[in-house]
Amino acid sequence: MRLLWTSLFGQCDRVPDEGEAVAAFERHRAAVVEAGPAERLLVYELGQGWGPLCAFVGAGEPETPFPHLNDTEAMHGVTADMAAGREVTSPFS
């Protein structure tokens, strides 16, 4: 874990703030985009639904709504429970 955090954030002694986390994500995303052929990469943005994903893999869109399990409210609840030392259940179930 130390190696991962050090490679992403340049340190492993504290939790990164939002700006550091976003910057690490953007660096990683840019490296992935640069690393491979464009025709083998789908850059998917949340909220796009099934369309781009299904087109990329050559499948029809299902009638089932696109999953939306980890919304902001649910994740804030999980982090608040963790901070308070309460037992945490998965927001994804």
Give CA angle at 65 (61, 70), nearest 5°.
Answer: 125
Write out pLDDT tens, residues 47-56: 899 999 999 9
Q: What is the pTM of this model?
A: 0.56
Write out pLDDT tens, residues 21-42: 888 889 999 999 999 899 999 9
pLDDT, mean of residues 10-23: 81
Measure the CA–CA gap between 42 and 57, rounded to whole angstroms: 9
Helix (H) or strand (E) holding 79: helix 72-83
User: What are the DSSP calls for 18-71, one per residue?
Assistant: HHHHHHHHHHHHHHHHHHS-GGG-----TT--HHHHHHHHT-PPPSSPPP----
Write out pLDDT tens, residues 68-80: 766 788 778 878 8
In this predicted structure, what is the pLDDT of residue 92? 55
